[in-house]
Amino acid sequence: MNVEVLHEANQDVFDTLVAGVRAYNVENAGPGNSQPLSVIARNNSGQLMAGVSGRTIYRQFLIEVMWVDSEVRRTGLGRRLMELAESEAKKRGCIAAQVDTLSFQGPTFYAKLGFEVAGKVDGFPDGHDRYFLLKKYQ
């Protein structure tokens, strides 16, 4: 067996690792029915201004990224996109949403949407904290 350290992204390696985890998960928890889920907003010129993107799997909405351009922050757009994404997740049978965020990013935003702290790592990165948030739908 050869062990390697890779210093560059390798899509084939990544895809093989993910496929292995998914196969293991199916053996133990059944099919997860993983589906991408994104809700985005573009301006009149077609430029992406905001969006939430993740996936639904095992009745969970896993939020991978949420971003709102500084030009349209604090306008309610982020809330609107999150509400649309969560509505779609619920239609898919999700019973909860999960996200992780840094203290300077969005814990207050998510708290206003009903997310609660499920875990916290202090000082990651230096001077900031990392939050793991959960919102139960039922």
Per-residue pLDDT of the chain (138 residues; tens, 9 = 90+): 999 999 999 999 999 999 999 899 999 998 888 999 999 999 999 999 999 999 999 999 999 999 999 999 999 999 999 999 999 999 999 999 999 999 999 899 999 999 999 999 999 888 899 999 999 997
What is the tens place of the pLDDT at every residue in 69-103? 999 999 999 999 999 999 999 999 999 999 999 99
- Cβ count within 10 A of residue 59: 15
Q: Domains in the chain and their CATH numbers?
A: 32-136 (3.40.630.30)
Beta strands in the chain (DSSP E): 35-42, 48-57, 60-68, 96-102, 116-121, 130-136
- By residue count, the chain amounts to 138
| The pair of three-digit structure tokens given for residue 115, joined into one six-digit string | 């997310």
